[in-house]
Structure 1
Amino acid sequence: MSARAASAITALAGHRAVLIPAASDFTPLVLIGGTGQWVDSWTTHISGFRDRPLLLYETAGQGKVAHDLSDMTLTRHTRDLQAVLAAAGWADRPVDLAGFSFGGRLAMAAAASGGLQVRRVVSTAVASRRTARGRFALRGCLASLRSGDMQGFGYQITLASYSSSFLAEHEARVPKWVDALARECTSEGVGAIIAETLATEEEEHPLHTERLASRIASAGAVEGGLIISGTEDAFSTLSSGADLARVAGWEHLPIEGAAHAVPLEKPRAWRDAVKGFLAKP
């Protein structure tokens, strides 16, 4: 983590956050991480978005800050996001949301809620319908977390999130990543996020991603949206990303060679895609 990022970590509405102001008229951008991430997971992206006001924050269940985990619905997370934006001074200002995996679903839920001024949304690695393989992977992760095995969870989520070529290239670094995850997150918090994720997989659930997409489309809730998919994603497949984009009436962009963790595996391509979409007239 850069010295600039470290000095910028603060607390907003009870959440660890990084708030980067910018002397520009660009719409502020909020980055929302995925399951098993924390605010430091995103600090490498700060320099790539330095031309606009930027907010990174940890949701309930991410990181080590103690939050009430009794309600982990996307509705609760949307309320939390509203409070964080208010604490940042952006309550009455339109924002762009870019979320990865769980964060991508939260971005969609926030846009669908009608309670925030959301201009554009970029959701990465979000499925319309997850495959059986993806559901089994999540259940395996949840089983490890419920037994308190953060190391086991770390290796499972790493295996499920990255392409074979990326893992082969970075094999020596993976144990350090797993150690960092076990140090920076809790089994209770991450487990609560995954349990709620599995609950929303039911097609009749009001917060199922296709239902969120339909609500956004019918309400004209945002100016535009983009679904980004890794071509090798087994959690949220390329075809499911395309399906979700069709339901929402959004654009769909594949990132070649990436698996689930597109922002970490292909960071420059991901940033270029986000910036290009947000800059469109």
Structure 2
Amino acid sequence: MSARAASAITALAGHRAVLIPAASDFTPLVLIGGTGQWVDSWTTHVSGFRDRPLLLYETAGQGKVAHDLSDMTLTRHTRDLQAVLAAAGWADRPVDLAGFSFGGRLAMAAAASGGLQVRRVVSTAVASRRTARGRFALRGCLASLRSGDMQGFGYQITLASYSSSFLAEHEARVPKWVDALARECTSEGVGAIIAETLATEEEEHPLHTERLASRIASAGAVEGGLIISGTEDAFSTLSSGADLARVAGWEHLPIEGAAHAVPLEKPRAWRDAVKGFLAKP
């Protein structure tokens, strides 16, 4: 973790967070991580967004902070986000939301809720429908978590989230990543996120991604949105990401050579895409 990010770690409405002000006119940006992530997973991106007010935070189920896990719906997470923004002093300010995977769906749910002032949304590795391979991978992960096997989960989610070329290049580092995940997150918290994720896979579910996209489009809830997809994503395919973007009336951008974990596999390309979209007039 960078010294700047470490010095900015705080607690906001009961959530571990990094809040970094900036003397600029940019709209504040909120970064929301994926299922098995925590604040430290995103701190490498802090310097890349140093030109704007920035907030990273852990949702319920992420990290080690104990939260009530009885309600893990995106509606609950949206309420939590409202409370975090209020604690950050941003309750009355429009914000941009950039989320990855679970965080991307949360960003869409927050925009669709009508309860937050959301200017633009960037959702990465989110699609209109998940592949059968993706659903089986999530069920396997959930089985490991329910047996308390964080190491097994770590290897499963790593295998499912990264491209073959990335894993080959970084094979020696993967055990350290898995150890960090097992140390910094809990099986109960991550398992609760995945269980709710699987529940929203049903197309009739009110928080299914296509339903969220339709609500955002019909309400004109945001100025604009962007779906970013990895070309090798087996969880949320490129074509399904494009379909979701069409439903929402948003832009769609493929990142060549990345699988599901686009912000981690291709960090510079991902940041450039986010910043470029947010800077558009």
Q: CA deviation at 1:127?
A: 1.4
| Cα distance in structure 1, aligned partners of 2:103 and 2:129 | 17
SS of the equivalent of 2:46 reads helix
Provide, for residues 99-132 of structure 1, a one-character-per-residue CA deviation record: whole Å limited to 9, x for no partner. Answer: 0000000000000000000000000000101110
Provide, for residues 18-55 of structure 1, a one-character-per-residue CA deviation record: whole Å limited to 9, x for no partner. Answer: 00000001000000000000000000000000000000
Superposition pairs of residues 75-154 of structure 1, within 5 angstroms:
75-154=75-154
| Cα distance in structure 2, aligned partners of 1:20 and 1:64 | 22
Question: Structure 1 segments of 4 or more deviating over 4 A?
Answer: none
User: Normalising to structure 2: TM-score of the pair?
Assistant: 1.00
Q: CA deviation at 1:143?
A: 0.3
Provide, for residues 243-262 of structure 1, a one-character-per-residue CA deviation record: whole Å limited to 9, x for no partner. Answer: 00000000000000000000
- Structure 2: runs of 5 or more not aligned: none
Q: CA deviation at 1:4?
A: 1.4
Provide, for residues 231-250 of structure 1, a one-character-per-residue CA deviation record: whole Å limited to 9, x for no partner. Answer: 00000000110000000000
Q: CA deviation at 1:66?
A: 0.2
Give the corresponding residue for 1:26: 26
Q: CA deviation at 1:7?
A: 1.1
SS of the equivalent of 2:19 reads strand
Give the corresponding residue for 2:159: 159
SS of the equivalent of 1:119 reads strand
| Cα distance in structure 2, aligned partners of 1:163 and 1:54 | 29
Work out the number of aligned pairs and report it. Answer: 281
| Cα distance in structure 2, aligned partners of 1:135 and 1:189 | 19
SS of the equivalent of 1:193 reads helix
| Cα distance in structure 1, aligned partners of 2:87 and 2:268 | 30
SS of the equivalent of 1:210 reads helix
- Structure 1: runs of 5 or more not aligned: none
| Cα distance in structure 2, aligned partners of 1:2 and 1:27 | 23
| Cα distance in structure 1, aligned partners of 2:216 and 2:4 | 36
SS of the equivalent of 1:37 reads coil
Provide, for residues 174-218 of structure 1, a one-character-per-residue CA deviation record: whole Å limited to 9, x for no partner. Answer: 000000000000000000000000000000000000000000000
| Cα distance in structure 1, aligned partners of 2:7 and 2:21 | 13
State which drifts further: 259-268 or 3-12: 3-12
SS of the equivalent of 2:93 reads coil
| Cα distance in structure 2, aligned partners of 1:222 and 1:4 | 31
User: Normalising to structure 1: TM-score of the pair?
Assistant: 1.00
Provide, for residues 39-75 of structure 1, a one-character-per-residue CA deviation record: whole Å limited to 9, x for no partner. Answer: 0000000000000000000000000000000000000
SS of the equivalent of 1:207 reads coil
Give the corresponding residue for 1:39: 39
Give the corresponding residue for 1:230: 230
